[in-house]
A = this chain, B = another copy of it.
Amino acid sequence: MAGGPLEGVKVVDLTTVVVGPICTRTLADQGAAVIKVEAPGGDILRYLAAGSRTPAMSGKFINFNRNKRSIVLDIKQPEGLAALKRLIAEADVFVSNVRPAALARAGLDFEALRPLNPRLIHCGIVAFGTDGRYANRPAYDPIIQSLSGVAGTFERATGEPRFVPMVMTDHIAGLISAQAIGFALFRREKTGIGESIEVPMFESMASFVASEHLGAATFDPPEGPSGDARLLSPDYRPLPTQDGFITVRPNDNRQAFAFFDAIGRPELKADPRFKDPLARTRHAADYFTIQVETLKQKTTADWLEIFAKADVPAAGYNRIDDLLDDPHLNDVGFWQFDEHPTEGRIRRTRVPVTFRGGMRQETLPAPQLGMNTREILAEAGYAAEHIEAMLASGAAA
Contacts and interface: CB of A to CB of B under 8 A. Distances in A.
Interface in A173-228: 175-176, 178-180, 182-187, 189-191, 193-200, 202-204, 206-220, 223-224, 226-228
A352 interface: yes
Contacts of A132: 327-329, 331-332
A245 interface: yes
Contact of A321 (B143, B196, B226, B238): B226
Contacts of A26: 179
A260 interface: no
A351 to B, nearest CB: 8
State the number of copies, please. 2
Interface residues of A, number: 161
Contact of A352 (B44, B186, B187, B203): B203
Contacts of A157: 162, 165
Per DSSP, are chain A's interface residues mostly helix, strand or loop, or mixed?
Answer: mixed
Contact of A50 (B156, B278, B326): B278
A345 interface: yes
Interface centre among A131, A162, A214 (most CB of B within 10 A): A214
Interface string A237-267: 1100000011101011001000000000000
Contact of A345 (B139, B219, B232): B219
A163 interface: yes
Given A190-B189, A231-B165, A226 B142 contact: no
